[in-house]
Amino acid sequence: MNTWFSELQTHNVSLGLKIEDVLWREKTPYQELAVLQTEAYGRMLVLDGAIQTTSLDEFVYHEMIAHVPLLLHPNPRKVAVIGGGDGGAIREILQHTGIEEAHLIEIDERVVDASKRFFPDIAKGLQDDRTHVHFTDGIAWVKQARNFDVILVDSTDPVGPAEGLFVPEFYQSIYDALSEDGIMVAQSESPFLEPDIIQRVINGVSQAFPVTRLYLASVPTYPSGLWSFTLGAKKALQLPRQVPLKTRYWTPEIQKSCFHLPVFVEELIR
Amino acid sequence: MNTWFSELQTHNVSLGLKIEDVLWREKTPYQELAVLQTEAYGRMLVLDGAIQTTSLDEFVYHEMIAHVPLLLHPNPRKVAVIGGGDGGAIREILQHTGIEEAHLIEIDERVVDASKRFFPDIAKGLQDDRTHVHFTDGIAWVKQARNFDVILVDSTDPVGPAEGLFVPEFYQSIYDALSEDGIMVAQSESPFLEPDIIQRVINGVSQAFPVTRLYLASVPTYPSGLWSFTLGAKKALQLPRQVPLKTRYWTPEIQKSCFHLPVFVEELIR
């Protein structure tokens, strides 16, 4: 059978993936959730028609959203992930031996359930003793959170439930929830296809944080294949710590070179 | 009107682009050539259904295939491009002030004609006094070429007319055509979607050249968005020369960091 999934990545760009099977499909209280078996990228989690994660390329995004800020923090012990219900960021965070608490704040319990069932390798950190899962709204949760070392915003696109995760007030709440060496990272879309979102996130984060940086990674199932992450820090960044990590994308060299931006991206955020 | 172009990038991955117009379409002696006006990426050259270049992202590929090797050569004066009939690599080569001869060896004259007509900004170097265009088979041409400083293989995918540009004998011919400090670069497809092609090119180039390196760049309209280039050098590579260049992707930092490969790519070519 010749069956394809197609994601409208922007109004004029689409990615098509041949699928072997539709493994799950449901309407949650927040969004439409589907799990598909693709030929090229293995299992794939789709929310409201947008690819969130696939078995074969998830390592890029999860390693890069987690390790880059954790290695720039002098001693991360208490970390939170807003969104990221698949658990991939938590899995990577737990590689860092100093971690005492890893909190996942996911609004949609069904995403976590689907990940545990269909993506056990991605979700495996959710069973760890150090992991605390909160099924609640990330915006409200951050307002009462305090003394976190690192907070990651592993959100969907800024439409639907994630819209409030792309506004300056939210970044200010994250600032207040961080301890004095605190660092945040938010996924901030593609410089090729969504330059205005990068500008919005950079501007919002820099209103709250004295240090703001952008870094990039190649995620083939995300629009354009080039993805950005916006980092905010309360203090000047030190050289990254060197710790052994089991990775498939991240290397000590990429820790530094991911901040070396193409000219057109530098111009975008200047 | 809601009209889309779709490229089957592999047998199970496709990229769709909304188009405004079909500007040109012809069957040349070698391939099917089309020029489309896309909404997201501007004008686009398509050969046998595969995207070759677009107005809005061509700068990445052309800057990266040209500047990286030219800056690693101590004094490039005589350079050749095999394929690359759009002229984009030639345009970038001509930014280097020491260039005396830039040769383009394109089998299909209709590609050059279409580029001059529909992509004047990309093709502009083809009118330069230093440029020599040869409408002939690249494999035969390289066999008689001598004393080139840098040779770039700016080919289509290894099906159809470009098949002979992906075999060890061809890389040996390039070695023989290069002077003693000579460097070659060949585009070598996507590490995510065509790992076997990268391995084939790396193996072939390393049979002829004592120094072989792989580097990467983000090209959104190429499969997976992450593209590889295989570099072969006759001598150990020196630090890149520093010269002023007008670029939109390449920077002096990217000149170095493009060689910092993700773990899974390192494993692929080990």
Per-residue confidence (pLDDT) for residue B250, from 0 to 100:
98
**Given B16, B253, B263, which is nearest A14 (Cβ)?**
B16
CB-based contact B248 A256, cutoff 8 Å: no
Helix (H) or strand (E) holding A122: helix A120-123
Q: Are A119 and A45 in contact (CB under 8 A)?
A: yes
Q: Which residues pair with A186 in a beta bridge?
A: A153, A230
- Residue B229 to residue B68: CA distance in whole angstroms: 10
**Given B59, B220, B251, which is nearest A226 (Cβ)?**
B220
Max Cα–Cα distance, chain A, nearest Å:
56
Per-residue confidence (pLDDT) for residue B173, from 0 to 100:
97
CB-based contact A13 B10, cutoff 8 Å: no
The CATH number assigned to the domain with range B58-269 reads 3.40.50.150
List the catalytic residues of A. Answer: 154
CB-based contact A220 B216, cutoff 8 Å: no
Which of B11-25, B68-82, B157-171 is predicted least confidently?
Answer: B157-171
Determine phi and psi for A126, rounding to 5 degrees: -70, -20
Q: Are B150 and B69 in contact (CB under 8 A)?
A: yes
Per-residue confidence (pLDDT) for residue A1, from 0 to 100:
80
Q: Which among A9, A13, A189 is the top mutation candidate for probing chain B, defined by the most B β-carbons within 10 Å of its own β-carbon?
A: A13
Cα–Cα distances in angstroms (integers) from residue B179 to residues A31, A155, B145, B174, B234, in the given order: 61, 53, 10, 10, 9
Give every CB contact of residue A132 below 8 A, 6+ residues apart in sequence. A101, A102, A103, A104
Per-residue confidence (pLDDT) for residue B53, from 0 to 100:
97
Give the β-pairing of A3-10 and A13-27. Answer: antiparallel
Q: Which residues of B touch A250 (CB under 8 A)?
A: 262-263
**Given A224, A253, A257, which is nearest B220 (Cβ)?**
A224
Q: Which residues of A touch B216 (CB under 8 A)?
A: 218
Specify the fold of B3-54: Spermidine Synthase; Chain: A, domain 2 (2.30.140)
Q: What is the CA angle A200-A204-A209, rounded to 5?
A: 145
**Given A4, A225, A247, which is nearest B224 (Cβ)?**
A225
Q: What is the CA radius of gyration of chain A?
A: 17
- Residue B102 to residue B79: CA distance in whole angstroms: 5
Q: Which residues of A touch B12 (CB under 8 A)?
A: 17-18, 38-40
Q: Which among B4, B9, B11, B12 is the top mutation candidate for probing chain A, defined by the most A β-carbons within 10 Å of its own β-carbon?
A: B12
Report residue A203 as tokens. Answer: 């501007």
- Residue B219 to residue A64: CA distance in whole angstroms: 20
Task: Tell me which residue of B89, B74, B42 sits closest to B179, measured CA to CA.
Answer: B74
Q: Which residues of A touch B250 (CB under 8 A)?
A: 262-263
Per-residue confidence (pLDDT) for residue B79, from 0 to 100:
98
Q: At what angle do helices B168-177 and B195-208 cross, to 10 degrees?
A: 40
Q: Which residues of B touch A192 (CB under 8 A)?
A: 57, 218, 220
Q: What's at B127, amino acid-wise?
A: Q
Report residue B62 as tokens. Answer: 């052309």
Q: What is the CA angle B220-A55-A155, rounded to 5?
A: 70
Determine phi and psi for B216, rounding to 5 degrees: -130, 155
Residue B1 confidence (pLDDT) above 90: no
Q: What's at A141, amino acid-wise?
A: W
Q: Are A186 and A205 in contact (CB under 8 A)?
A: yes
Percent of chain B residues past pLDDT 90, beyond the cut: 94
Give how far B242 is from chain A: nearest CA, Å.
Answer: 16
Look up residue A44 and give its DSSP letter. E
Q: Which residues of B touch A216 (CB under 8 A)?
A: 218
pLDDT, tens only, B131-142: 999 999 999 999
- Residue A144 to residue A29: CA distance in whole angstroms: 24
- Written as tens digits, the pLDDT of chain A (270 aa) is 899 999 999 999 999 999 999 999 999 999 999 999 999 999 999 999 999 999 999 999 999 999 999 999 999 999 999 999 999 999 999 999 999 999 999 999 999 999 999 999 999 999 999 999 999 999 999 999 999 999 999 998 887 778 888 899 999 999 999 999 999 999 999 999 999 999 999 999 999 999 999 999 999 999 999 999 999 999 999 999 999 999 999 999 999 999 999 999 999 998
Give every CB contact of residue B128 below 8 A, 6+ residues apart in sequence. B90, B94, B102
Other CB atoms within a 10 A radius of the CB of residue A165 amount to 22
**Given A11, A16, A266, which is nearest B14 (Cβ)?**
A16
Which residue ranges make up each domain of chain A? 3-54, 58-269
Determine phi and psi for B134, rounding to 5 degrees: -120, 120
CB-based contact B13 A13, cutoff 8 Å: no
Other CB atoms within a 10 A radius of the CB of residue B202 amount to 21
A-to-B residue pairs, Cβ atoms closer than 8 angstroms: 119
Per-residue confidence (pLDDT) for residue A158, from 0 to 100:
84
Report residue B112 as tokens. Answer: 């050059």
Start-to-end CA distance of chain B, whole Å, equals: 49
Other CB atoms within a 10 A radius of the CB of residue A203 amount to 14
CB-based contact B13 A18, cutoff 8 Å: yes
Per-residue confidence (pLDDT) for residue A249, from 0 to 100:
98
Q: Are B151 and B142 in contact (CB under 8 A)?
A: yes
Q: What is the CA radius of gyration of chain B?
A: 17
Report residue A201 as tokens. Answer: 């996130």
- HEC per residue, B17-70: EEEEEEEEEEECCCCEEEEEEECCCEEEEEECCEEEEECCCHHHHHHHHHHHHH
Percent of chain B residues past pLDDT 70, beyond the cut: 100
List the catalytic residues of B. Answer: 154
Determine phi and psi for B65, rounding to 5 degrees: -75, -30
Determine phi and psi for A109, rounding to 5 degrees: -60, -30
Sheet holding B148-154, edge to edge: B131-134, B101-105, B78-83, B148-154, B178-187, B226-233, B211-218
Q: Following CA atoms A127, A230, A59, A18 in sequence, which dihedral angle do they give, to the nearest 10 degrees?
A: 110
CB-based contact B218 A216, cutoff 8 Å: yes
Q: What is the DSSP string of B98-148?
A: T--EEEEE-S-HHHHHHHHHH-HHHHGGGGSTTEEEE-S-HHHHHHH---E
What ipTM does the predicted assembly reach?
A: 0.96
Look up residue B210 and give its DSSP letter. S
Residue B160 confidence (pLDDT) above 80: no
Residue B239 confidence (pLDDT) above 90: yes
Chain B contacts to A (CB-CB under 8 A): 4, 6, 10-18, 38-40, 57, 59-60, 190, 192-193, 216, 218, 220, 224-226, 247-251, 253-254, 256-257, 260-264, 266
CB-based contact B253 A248, cutoff 8 Å: no
Model-wide pTM > 0.95: yes
Q: Which residues of A touch B253 (CB under 8 A)?
A: 257, 260
pLDDT, tens only, B167-179: 999 999 999 999 9
CB-based contact B247 A263, cutoff 8 Å: yes
